[in-house]
Chain A
Amino acid sequence: MKWFAIAVIAASLLLPPFLAGDFYINLASQILIAAIFALSLNLLVGFGGMTSLGHASYLGVAAYISALLTSRYGLGHGSAAVVSIAGTVAMAAIFGVIALRATGLGFLMITLALSQVLWGLAYRMSNVTNGDNGIAGLTRPAPFGISINSPASFYWFVLIVAAFAFLMMAIFVSSAFGSSLKGVRDQPRRMAALGFNPWLIRWITFIYAGFWGGVSGLLYVYYHKYIHPTSLSTTSSAEALLGVIAGGSGTMGGPVVGAAVVLLIKNYASAYVERWNMLLGLVFLFIVLVMPTGIVPGVSRLTAAIRRAPP
């Protein structure tokens, strides 16, 4: 059963470039990018108990820095990537200090306010960010001299990064530090009494989540070759949060499934209706009211029940 599941997952990851058309390969790349983003948010929401509504900040800022450096200042992709990730991590460190003064809903409100400020800046500082027009005409990097301009080659590139990201985040949450993070999520005072520093544990997690958010932002801007202030908007943060909650927060598989579901709904719905935001709102209501623990825990409960039942 377990091997069968692994085989199915491996097949669904490895086969698209051979079987599917360009549209579906691109869709798969987008799903992987959204999955990295959702996984990084899940470190905060699921494992850290810190519900952030401003995670799009990290995606957007990394994407904007890379876009500006490569298009306006003529920097190479390698150094631009390093600078943008470093900048995003530094921003996460500062935002973390501010937002982690509060917990719970206060944390949520501060992250939302901070990200709205960045969104406003991206719109208003039009001499830097080009405002509502966004920054177009960007290029993709060529890692080790290999062009990744075709859909299939870009898919392989994203798949390698995504696999690495998944592995790194899985190691993070299953490490001793990850256990202390879960401890701080469930029993902060007990953890403090045991000699742990809850604030520091949360802060490090916040920065780590910002780092992977920044990585997904780079992939995002490489994929679209374009960046617009909407990538910093609450809608963008909310889509990722919906992916995490819908898939099942606090699991490694949940956010991947959730991000895929959200992206598929968005793609197919936008073919028929223009009202993505309304649909997103309705999906939010539906998930919270009907499926509060998410798809992956729900399905695994279901399979466990089937296995336990006599044949």
Chain B
Amino acid sequence: MQFWIIQGLNSLSLGGLLFLLSSGFSLIFGLMRLANLTHGAFFMLGTYFAASAMRSYEGLDIWVTAIGAGVMVAAIGGLFERLVLSRLRANPLGQVLVTLGMSFIISDACLVLWGGDSIPVPTPQNLQAPTRFFGFVFPTYRLVLVGCAVAAAIVLYFLLERTRLGAMIRAGVDDSQMARAVGIPVSNLSTIVFCLGAGIAGAGGVLGGPILSAYPGLDADMLPLALIVVILGGIGSLLGAFVGSFIIGFIYTFGTALFPELAYIILFLPMIFVIAFRPQGLFGRVGA
């Protein structure tokens, strides 16, 4: 019983992390029709940032670190979007290729800066004690992480559905040309959304640090999971990213625990199922 509960919680926390990663990916794809292959590298940058910051300043708060890393990664993403991606608006293939090139550059730069060994990120001290609940023991940090993802989902939902900015973004997602025609600055919105997505990924990288720790190849491990989440949930849909993240979180965690060698094959199954019966994804409205 303890096994199932702990693995269930692990699934939830992985799902939460995947949501922080894939929500930004999905938003960027929805607005800009851009498969941002740098997204895994943004996540990894956040983790490495946390590893450095929290080890050099003992007792640095993880929330402060997450915000700091989020801002920093958002700035890097914004620069990249303005300087490179905005020149390639009419060339979707070129955009994908430069995001791929950028992911190689970032992951190699991380290897230079931080070396090839994995660097653990400390769990915050006030969250180290396990939580006891109905006689079961839970790692507190993972519970908090799930809470974070849910909070992020709620904030994003209100941002998109209840604010003027969100209304403009939704208009851009639905019909970018018409949105431009009525005076919505879609090009600036793209930069904002790209920064936002990169920032969430960077902050997610910090929060995932205590579980995953920073190691070279973290980006290559996370990116396919994010891809599968958005293919499953539907590209451009926040709800799809949320549901998809938790489905993949469960499948991946239980797959790894029960059939360690086949976990990757098990990941195939939901993807094939969705592609076969609902190519636009569970909650997708736009075809890729």
Q: For the complex, is B5 an interface residue (Cβ under 8 Å from A)?
A: no
Q: Quick one: which of B93, B96, B98, B231 contacts A289, CB cutoff 8 A? A: B98
| Interface class of chain A by DSSP | helix
Q: For the complex, is A43 an interface residue (Cβ under 8 Å from B)?
A: no
Closest to B267 in A: A117
Closest to B103 in A: A281
Q: Quick one: which of B101, B105, B108, B288 contacts A105, CB cutoff 8 A? A: B288
Residue interface bits A263-294, CB-to-B below 8 A is 1, else 0: 00000000000010110111111011100100
Q: For the complex, is A170 an interface residue (Cβ under 8 Å from B)?
A: no
A36-73 residues with Cβ-Cβ distance < 8 A to B are 51, 53
Interface residues on B, range: 35 or more
Contact A288 B97 (CB under 8 A): yes
Q: Quick one: which of A124, A235, A245, A289 contacts B260, CB cutoff 8 A? A: A124
Closest to A285 in B: B101
Interface residues on A, range: 35 or more
List A contacts of B84 (CB < 8 A): 285, 289
Q: For the complex, is A167 an interface residue (Cβ under 8 Å from B)?
A: no
Residue interface bits B243-277, CB-to-A below 8 A is 1, else 0: 00000000000000000110111011001100110
Closest to B92 in A: A105
List B contacts of A106 (CB < 8 A): 231, 235, 279, 287-288
**What total of A-B pairs shows CB separation below 8 Å?**
128
| Contact status of A117 and B268, CB under 8 A, knowing A104-B288, A234-B220, A285-B84 | yes
Closest to A242 in B: B97
List A contacts of B261 (CB < 8 A): 121, 124-125, 127
Contact A105 B287 (CB under 8 A): no
Contact A105 B104 (CB under 8 A): no
Closest to A278 in B: B108
Contact A117 B96 (CB under 8 A): no
B202-250 residues with Cβ-Cβ distance < 8 A to A are 220-221, 223-224, 227-228, 230-231, 235
List A contacts of B105 (CB < 8 A): 277-278, 281-282, 285
A109 to B235, CA, bound (A): 11
A108 to B33, CA, bound (A): 13
Q: For the complex, is B127 an interface residue (Cβ under 8 Å from A)?
A: no
Q: For the complex, is B109 an interface residue (Cβ under 8 Å from A)?
A: yes
| Interface class of chain B by DSSP | helix
A242 to B101, CA, bound (A): 10
Contact B264 A124 (CB under 8 A): yes
List B contacts of A234 (CB < 8 A): 100, 220
Closest to B224 in A: A116
CB distance from B253 to the nearest CB of A (A): 15
Contact A288 B224 (CB under 8 A): no
A145 to B100, CA, bound (A): 45
Contact A121 B265 (CB under 8 A): yes
A51 to B35, CA, bound (A): 12
List A contacts of B93 (CB < 8 A): 51
List A contacts of B231 (CB < 8 A): 106, 109-110, 113
CB distance from B284 to the nearest CB of A (A): 10
Contact B100 A238 (CB under 8 A): yes
| Contact status of A105 and B96, CB under 8 A, knowing A116-B220, A238-B104, A278-B104 | yes
List B contacts of A112 (CB < 8 A): 37, 224, 227
CB distance from A44 to the nearest CB of B (A): 12
Closest to B29 in A: A105
Q: For the complex, is B91 an interface residue (Cβ under 8 Å from A)?
A: yes
Q: For the complex, is A102 an interface residue (Cβ under 8 Å from B)?
A: yes
A245 to B287, CA, bound (A): 26
Q: Quick one: which of B33, B34, B108 contacts A281, CB cutoff 8 A? A: B108
CB distance from A128 to the nearest CB of B (A): 8
Q: Quick one: which of B101, B221, B228 contacts A282, CB cutoff 8 A? A: B101
Contact B264 A121 (CB under 8 A): yes
Q: For the complex, is A21 an interface residue (Cβ under 8 Å from B)?
A: no
Contact B264 A277 (CB under 8 A): no
Contact A292 B263 (CB under 8 A): no
Give residues in A with beta carbon < 8 Å to B: 51, 53, 98, 101-110, 112-114, 116-117, 119-121, 124-125, 127, 233-235, 238, 241-242, 245, 275, 277-278, 280-285, 287-289, 292
- List 28 A–B pairs whose Cβ atoms lie within 8 Å, in order of A's numbering: A51-B93, A101-B275, A101-B279, A102-B275, A103-B288, A106-B235, A109-B288, A113-B231, A117-B224, A117-B265, A120-B264, A121-B261, A124-B260, A124-B261, A124-B263, A234-B100, A241-B97, A278-B105, A278-B109, A280-B101, A280-B104, A282-B105, A284-B97, A284-B104, A288-B101, A289-B87, A289-B88, A292-B94
Given pairs A109-B230, A120-B224, 12 additional interface contacts (CB within 8 A): A98-B275, A108-B96, A109-B231, A110-B275, A112-B37, A116-B227, A117-B265, A121-B261, A121-B265, A124-B260, A288-B98, A288-B101
